[in-house]
Amino acid sequence: MEGQGEEKRINRRKFFRTGAQAGVLVSLGGITALVARKTGSGEFVWQLDPTKCTQCGRCATSCVKNPSAVKCVHVYAMCGYCDLCGGYFLPETKTLNTGAENQLCPTKAIKRTFIEDPFFQYSIDEELCIGCGKCVKGCDAFGNGSLQLQVRQNICDNCNECSIARVCPSDAYSRVPADKPYLLNGFGKEKLDIT
Amino acid sequence: MTLTRKHIFRYIPYVFIVLAIGVVTWWFLYNPVKSLSLAEPGLDNRTVDPARASETVCIGEFFEYFGDVASIPGTRWPRFRGADLDNISKERIPLIDSWGASGPKILWKLELGEGHAAPAVYDGKLYLLDYNETLKRDALRCLSLETGEELWRRSYSVHLKRNHGLSRTVPAVTENYVVTIGPRCQVMCVERKTGDLLWGIDLEKEYGVEVPFWYTGQCPLISDDTAIIAVGGSSLMIGVDCRSGNIAWKTPNPNGWKMSHASVMPMTFKGKKMYLYPAIGGVCGISADGPDRGDILWENQEFSPSVIAPSPVVLDKGRIFLTAGYGYGGAVMQLKEQQGKFSTEIIQKYKPTEGLASEQQTPIYYNGHLLAIMPKDAGGLRNQFVSFHPDDCRKVLMKSGKTERFGLGPYIIADGKIFILNDDGEMTIAKLSTSKFTVLDQAQIIDGQDSWGPIAITGGYLLMRDSKQLVCIDIKAD
């Protein structure tokens, strides 16, 4: 009986040792698989559909990132390059210049550059953009809808449960394949070089 | 030297003094906003196009004669929104209820320069201020209503770049005169029958007018042989004698208001004739007669969008309906008079999601109701044809429904029907009603785009356009 007990203790030790080794191996394998999945085409990321978005402002305030991972993206091919840009100017602006009192963007994230009379180019400074969507709303109401909100994948943590998706009133958020991470709307989106 | 407790206590105040000086110095030198940059005018590097700045426009410099046709007395749609400025044809010619099995009876088509300018008709002749993109000229073209044949053309060189269309105004025509306003604010007056040039005024050069975005949308008005032009430069409005070109009166512009896309509308209130104009900056009433002709009778800055395309609609009881697109909404203004002094009060004002609004076309006031197409930012009513009563512009009385939505195109009333043109050239004939929308028929007239120019109906002919072509349709009932 004693001999059998000795053998059992040894076996248990062996069992735990082997189990620990197996656990480490499984963990490593799991991590490797996760890494492979993350870099592979089978992964999904969060994105918002501009056709459903109502620019409610929650993207700016509900993201776990501060400032939000949602940014305004400009589909240049759709833009009218208007002097009176509804995405740049406050609705009742009478003088179209770059004065702070005229700008719709609360963080001055849109840069307006004269091209030739009467056309102007508008570019987004993502460092400053907080994803409030005010410019998108203005562009939708006034122009062609070339300004659109998107989750920028280089900033997004891709949370398991996106905190913006939880509160989005128009159900605009969904998981999309990581190899096609953007859901821009309208023509010319294919020409945009965004990652 | 040995550092004793006594020494330490002696030096502590000095240490604190040094630290305090350091903190105060840091506090003075620290600039918490050094990473911020000023947003001030001029950062876009806007410059004035030197070619445009130095260009002198010789208004009416070219004339071409092609032929003549007999007049058709009585066929008249002489200006923007017709003779009564209400967009309702009063002619008693029975018009079609449907397009028929063979579709619309298109009499002729004409290629135009890109834009939204629409024709006026006077005694069987059609007058249109087109833009010739090849020659870069504003061109007043006189055409035969029946055939579309061009009879004469009065034009002048003016440099334009495409900017959501080029031309966009309707001439004002009387027995003797045709007055036009070109895209860059050149006003021209010619003899109606011959096309002979009478005079021209370059508002940009002579009055320092800032040309509106997407070019001029204001259609001129002729009243008692005086051309009424809202300027919005060094003068707010001017009256120009059509025969001589002399300035009959000028209205000062103390607030520096600018020209909008809306047109001047006449109104009579408590026996006083006046001209209404919603400028960029505010709405005003200008005296139209008497010793104070040209004076500002009243002004109101509560309705002040940055873009105004629809013209004011004169309602009953001294009320005026005002609307603008791009999220602005609508308003009803009440005009008051006391001992010859006028004042105004905005009695209703709301966003497009809350009540009647229009982005581009001027609503029609018919049988005590306002009819219009709601703008795209009007929520569930977006792009629907609707009816409201001016007493409550928040309560919709008729809507065309989710399946019948329209765009920015025009609509007109004639022979108990409403003709509505969609952006892409589809025309709907609907039964005229303020309580129920009933489609009689629909047809694709042309495969067009941006069909926004106002419709004209006279003599059983309907004239409509898209951005590139003008179409004449026979709509007389068999």
Mean pLDDT of B158-172: 91
Q: Yes or no: say if B411 and B361 are a contact pair by the CB < 8 Å rule.
A: yes
C-alpha–C-alpha distance, residues B203 and B233, integer Å:
8
C-alpha–C-alpha distance, residues B377 and B380, integer Å:
9
pLDDT band at A16 (very low <50, low <70, confident <90, very high): confident
* Residue B235, burial from CB neighbour count under 10 angstroms (0-12, 13-18, 19+): buried
Mean pLDDT of B415-441: 97
Residues of A in contact with B45 (CB under 8 A): 113-114
Mean pLDDT of A111-135: 94
Q: Does A106 touch chain B (CB under 8 A)?
A: no
Q: Specify the DSSP element, H or E, that contains B443.
A: strand B439-444
Q: Which amino acid is at B230?
A: A
DSSP conformation letters of B284-343: EEEE-SSTTTT-EEEEE-SS--S---SPPEE-STTEEEEEETTTTEEEEEEEEEETTEEE
- Which stretch of A40-44, A149-153, B314-318, B364-368 has the lowest confidence by average pLDDT? A40-44
CA A38 to chain centre: 16
> Mean pLDDT of all residues in chain B?
95
Residue where the block lists tokens 């409610």 = A56
Residue A1 has pLDDT above 50, yes or no: no
First-to-final CA distance of chain A: 68
Q: Does A46 touch chain B (CB under 8 A)?
A: no
First-to-final CA distance of chain B: 124
Per the CB < 8 Å rule, is A92 touching B304?
Answer: yes
* Residue B298, burial from CB neighbour count under 10 angstroms (0-12, 13-18, 19+): buried
Q: Does A99 touch chain B (CB under 8 A)?
A: yes
Per the CB < 8 Å rule, is A113 touching B45?
Answer: yes
C-alpha distance from residue B107 to each of B67, B129, B300 (Å):
20, 21, 47
| Amino acid A35: pLDDT | 59
Per the CB < 8 Å rule, is A91 touching B43?
Answer: no
| Amino acid B70: pLDDT | 93
Three-state DSSP class for residue B462: strand
Candidate from A94, A117, A142 with C-beta closest to B281: A94
pLDDT band at A27 (very low <50, low <70, confident <90, very high): confident
| Amino acid A39: pLDDT | 53
Residues of B in contact with A120 (CB under 8 A): 44, 46
Candidate from B44, B281, B306 with C-beta closest to A84: B306
pLDDT band at B421 (very low <50, low <70, confident <90, very high): very high
pTM for this entry: 0.81
Q: Yes or no: say if B218 and B261 are a contact pair by the CB < 8 Å rule.
A: yes
Q: How many CB pairs under 8 A join A and B?
A: 72
- For B375, nearest residue in chain A (alpha carbons): A141
Per the CB < 8 Å rule, is A86 touching B305?
Answer: no
DSSP conformation letters of A87-126: TTB-TT--S-S--GGGB--TT--EEEEEEETTEEEEEE-T
Q: Which residues contact B327 (CB under 8 A, 6 or more apart)?
A: A91, A138, A141, A142, B351, B352, B377
Candidate from A84, A92, A114 with C-beta closest to B46: A114
**CA torsion through residues A96, A100, A102, A104, sign:** positive
| Amino acid A37: pLDDT | 57
Strands (E), B54-184: 62-65, 76-77, 88-89, 105-111, 120-122, 125-132, 137-144, 150-157, 172-173, 177-181
Q: Phi and psi dihedrals of B26, rounded to 5?
A: -60, -40
Residue B187 has pLDDT above 80, yes or no: yes
Q: Exposed e or buried b for every residue in A66-94, given b needs 16+ CB within 10 A?
A: ebbbbbbbbbeebbbbbbbbbbbbebebe
Q: Which residues contact B123 (CB under 8 A, 6 or more apart)?
A: B71, B72, B73, B74, B75, B76
**Residue B434: closest CA among B373, B369, B342, B380:** B369
Greater pLDDT, B100 or A9: B100
Domain ranges of chain B: 52-474
**Residue B179: closest CA among B225, B125, B116:** B225
Q: Does B438 touch chain A (CB under 8 A)?
A: no
To the nearest whole Å, the CA of A129 is away from the closest chain B CA by: 14
To the nearest whole Å, the CA of A46 is away from the closest chain B CA by: 28
C-alpha–C-alpha distance, residues B160 and B184, integer Å:
8
**Residue B325: closest CA among B369, B260, B258:** B260
Q: Does B212 touch chain A (CB under 8 A)?
A: no
CATH top-level class for A44-191?
A: alpha beta
Q: Does B255 touch chain A (CB under 8 A)?
A: no
| Amino acid A42: pLDDT | 67
- For B162, nearest residue in chain A (alpha carbons): A118
| Amino acid A3: pLDDT | 46
Interface ipTM: 0.71
Residue A38 has pLDDT above 60, yes or no: no
**Residue B185: closest CA among B163, B156, B218:** B218
* Segment B331-359, tens digit of pLDDT: 999 999 999 999 999 999 999 999 999 99
Q: Which amino acid is at B61?
A: E
DSSP conformation letters of B7-54: HHHHHHHHHHHHHHHHHHHHHHH--TTTT-----TTTT-----HHHHH
C-alpha–C-alpha distance, residues B52 and B158, integer Å:
9
* Segment B350-393, tens digit of pLDDT: 999 999 999 999 999 999 999 999 998 899 999 999 999 999 99
- Which stretch of A9-18, A135-144, B221-230, B360-369 has the lowest confidence by average pLDDT? A9-18
Order of strands, sheet of B105-111, starting from the edge strand that comes earlier in the sequence? B105-111, B469-474, B461-465, B456-458
Candidate from A97, A140, A142 with C-beta closest to B41: A97
> Mean pLDDT of all residues in chain A?
87
C-alpha distance from residue B344 to each of A19, A85, B71 (Å):
88, 32, 45
* Segment B2-17, tens digit of pLDDT: 678 888 888 888 999 9
Residues of B in contact with A92 (CB under 8 A): 304-306, 328
Q: Does B54 touch chain A (CB under 8 A)?
A: no
Q: Yes or no: say if B305 and B330 are a contact pair by the CB < 8 Å rule.
A: no
| Amino acid A133: pLDDT | 97
Q: Yes or no: say if B88 and A157 are a contact pair by the CB < 8 Å rule.
A: no
To the nearest whole Å, the CA of B280 is away from the closest chain A CA by: 7
Mutate to test the interface with A, among B46, B159, B204 (most CBs of A within 10 A): B46
Candidate from A93, A99, A140 with C-beta closest to B40: A99
Mutate to test the interface with A, among B40, B43, B44 (most CBs of A within 10 A): B44
Three-state DSSP class for residue B470: strand
Residue A12 has pLDDT above 90, yes or no: no
CATH number of B52-474: 2.130.10.10
Mean pLDDT of B229-248: 97
Greater pLDDT, A117 or B359: B359
Per the CB < 8 Å rule, is A141 touching B327?
Answer: yes
Mean pLDDT of B233-251: 97
Per the CB < 8 Å rule, is B327 touching A91?
Answer: yes
Mutate to test the interface with B, among A104, A142, A144 (most CBs of B within 10 A): A142
Three-state DSSP class for residue A35: helix
To the nearest whole Å, the CA of B283 is away from the closest chain A CA by: 14
Q: Which residues contact A56 (CB under 8 A, 6 or more apart)?
A: A133, A168, A169, A170
Domain ranges of chain A: 1-39, 44-191
| Amino acid A2: pLDDT | 45
DSSP letter at B444 equals: E
Q: Which amino acid is at B197?
A: L
Strands (E), B351-408: 364-366, 369-373, 385-389, 392-399
Three-state DSSP class for residue B385: strand
| Amino acid B198: pLDDT | 98
To the nearest whole Å, the CA of A27 is away from the closest chain B CA by: 46
Longest dimension (CA), chain A: 100
C-alpha distance from residue B409 to each of B79, B105, B128 (Å):
18, 21, 18
C-alpha–C-alpha distance, residues B323 and A192, integer Å:
37
